[in-house]
Every structure is written in structure tokens, then in C-alpha cells.
């Protein structure tokens, strides 16, 4: 364990416990007592209010005043943070997330009830494969270094890009990188699953003044269209979760009427088609026709290749 990591661990342990002996620290980190003494001196010189108690029950502690941060967050608050981080850990499993979780766990009272909320996400194999891409993007953003990669857009066109990376964004099931593309001279959003041969360059960049204000230009979202659809009560819960209760109204004994916004592209068609016979789009007529053509193309594939 590096010295910096050991010092951080010492602080987190002292935030949780009242007094810890030199021997306990030495055994925990597998170092000498002299090393622990030097660590305590380093923390004191860094204005961390460490104090020592001599005697048989002696050891090291940290001033209660330094623990005031814990009073700003109750055990309930900390548990909620752990719940959120636990869910994040399933989406993006990284050493940074694990370390953060352990730090906050050290601040939670052992008497606090745990496990009141549990988050679960699909444990997709592809999500672990994309982890290396995420790590490179994170490091590049932190170090303000350019990234280069091959990118295949939704139409299958391959291009090489050099980008100033600014932000990673997770939406529903996918990760996106937002940045300024030097080739296109504009802000763009790239889906990580379409990125290949990603490299962090040695060239650094100065963040553009308007980088945070360009989120709408780099948005991965396309234009949406409002549609009306008759839906089966069996998928009512899916619409409530996605669009809210106000999106649904009674229509007949067999159907509900849903008014929703969907992407005006194949992504919208794919979502609607996934609902099968539980949904019928009724308005607007132009969208109904486009959706019908999309479905006919799907059927044609199987008509042309009968088994």
C-alpha cells in the first residue's frame, strides 16, 4: 500500500473509532510502529488534528471537532449515498467507486439499519467489456488530454476522430462521451459502444470557455414527436415508469390511451415494436404510416428467408 493510501485509510479509521493503538495500525498495514509514528507526524503537519493518549489504554485519535462533517450528514443520509453508489457500482464497477463506498461505510454507525433499499441493473457482459474505454475516457478528462479513436455511426460509416473529452454521460442503458471534435470543429456526443481503438494522446488541451454551455449541441438525443397509442393494461406499469401517470387515460374496457414523446427515428420505432401486440399507434397519421413501413420491412425479412 502506498503511503498516501495508508494516510487516507488512517484518517477514515480514526473518523470511525475513538482510539486506535500504534500496534493495531502497524498490524493492519503490515508496517513497523516507527512507520506509523512517522505517518502521525505527517498528518499533524498537514493540519489534521491527531492527538495521542499515553498509557496502557493509549493510542491515537482525531479531534471531535474534525468529525463535524459527519453531523452535516445523518446516518440516513449516508445510507442513501451508499445506496446510490451501490447502484452506480453495478453500472460502472471501478476501483474509485469501491474506495468511495468503503470511505462512506466507515462513517456510518454500525447500529444503523442497512439494506432498506437495493438497486439492481442488468449484469450484461458487454458492460464489463466497455470498462477499459470508460477508464481511458475518465483519465483523459481528468488530465485534459486529447483522445483519438475510430468511430462507426448509426449508418455504419467509419471515421477517425480526435476529441477534447469533457464529460461521460450514462442514459438508460448506454454510456456516451461528450466533447469537442477537432475534425468537425464542433461539440459532439459519441456512443462508447461505437468507439474502437481508443487512445489517450500525450497532447493536452485547455478547456473551452463555452464547453459547459454546449451540452445541448452535444446531446445524443434526437428530435421527438408526440404520439397517441392504444395500449393494453398489461403494459400500463411500463408507461407509468417511463412517462408518468398523466400520460395515460381511460379509453375502453380493453385499452388505455397513452400520449407520449418518442424519438423521431428508428430508436422510437424499435421501442414501440418491442411492445408487440400490446400497442397500436393511432396518431399522428404520418407517424403511423412511417411505423407501418418499418414493421413491413421487418416482416419482409422473414418472408424472404422462410425456414
Q: List pLDDT tens digits, range 251-297.
A: 998 999 999 999 888 888 988 999 999 999 999 999 999 999 999 99
Domain span(s) for CATH 1.10.10.10 in the chain: 3-69
Q: Could you tell me if 10 and 25 are in contact, meaning their C-beta atoms sit under 8 angstroms apart?
A: yes
Q: Residue 155, Cβ neighbours under 10 Å: how many?
A: 5
Highest mean pLDDT among 48-57, 169-178, 235-244: 235-244
Supply φ then ψ for residue 94, to 5 degrees.
Answer: -145, 160
Residue 185 falls in which region: left (phi positive, over 0), alpha (psi -120 to 50) or beta: left
User: Helix axis angle, 3-16 relative to 22-29, nearest 10°?
Assistant: 130
pTM of the model: 0.54
CATH number of 126-214: 2.30.30
Q: What is the CATH number of domain 3-69?
A: 1.10.10.10
Within the chain, all domains assigned CATH 2.30.30 are found at 126-214
Range with the lowest mean pLDDT among 41-45, 125-129, 141-145, 232-236?
125-129
Amino acid at each position: 500500500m502506498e503511503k498516501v493510501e495508508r494516510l487516507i485509510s488512517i484518517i477514515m479509521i480514526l473518523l470511525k473509532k475513538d482510539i486506535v493503538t500504534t500496534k493495531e495500525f502497524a498490524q493492519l498495514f503490515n508496517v513497523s510502529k516507527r512507520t506509523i509514528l512517522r505517518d502521525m507526524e505527517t498528518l499533524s503537519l498537514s493540519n489534521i488534528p491527531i492527538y495521542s493518549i499515553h498509557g496502557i489504554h493509549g493510542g491515537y485519535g482525531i479531534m471531535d471537532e474534525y468529525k463535524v462533517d459527519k453531523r452535516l450528514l445523518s446516518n440516513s443520509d449516508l445510507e442513501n449515498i451508499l445506496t446510490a453508489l451501490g447502484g452506480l457500482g453495478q453500472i460502472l464497477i471501478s476501483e474509485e467507486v469501491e474506495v468511495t463506498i468503503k470511505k462512506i461505510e466507515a462513517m456510518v454507525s454500525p447500529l444503523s439499519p442497512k439494506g432498506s433499499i437495493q438497486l439492481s441493473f442488468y449484469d450484461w457482459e458487454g458492460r464489463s467489456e466497455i470498462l477499459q474505454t470508460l477508464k481511458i475516457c475518465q483519465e483523459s478528462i481528468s488530465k485534459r488530454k486529447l483522445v483519438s479513436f475510430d468511430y462507426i455511426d448509426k449508418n455504419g460509416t467509419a471515421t477517425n476522430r480526435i476529441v477534447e473529452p469533457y464529460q461521460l454521460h450514462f442514459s438508460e442503458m448506454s454510456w456516451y462521451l461528450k466533447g469537442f471534435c477537432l475534425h468537425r470543429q464542433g461539440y459532439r456526443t459519441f456512443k462508447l459502444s461505437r468507439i474502437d481503438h481508443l487512445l489517450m494522446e500525450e497532447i493536452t488541451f485547455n478547456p473551452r470557455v463555452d464547453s459547459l454551455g454546449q451540452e445541448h449541441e452535444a446531446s445524443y438525443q434526437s428530435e421527438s414527436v408526440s404520439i397517441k397509442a392504444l395500449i393494453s393494461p398489461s403494459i400500463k406499469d411500463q408507461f407509468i415508469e417511463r412517462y408518468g401517470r398523466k400520460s395515460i387515460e381511460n379509453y375502453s374496457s380493453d385499452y388505455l390511451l397513452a400520449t407520449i414523446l418518442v424519438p423521431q427515428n428508428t430508436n422510437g420505432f424499435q421501442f414501440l415494436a418491442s411492445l408487440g401486440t400490446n400497442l397500436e399507434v393511432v396518431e399522428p397519421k404520418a407517424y403511423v404510416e412511417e411505423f407501418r413501413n418499418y414493421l413491413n420491412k421487418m416482416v419482409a425479412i422473414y418472408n424472404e428467408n422462410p425456414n
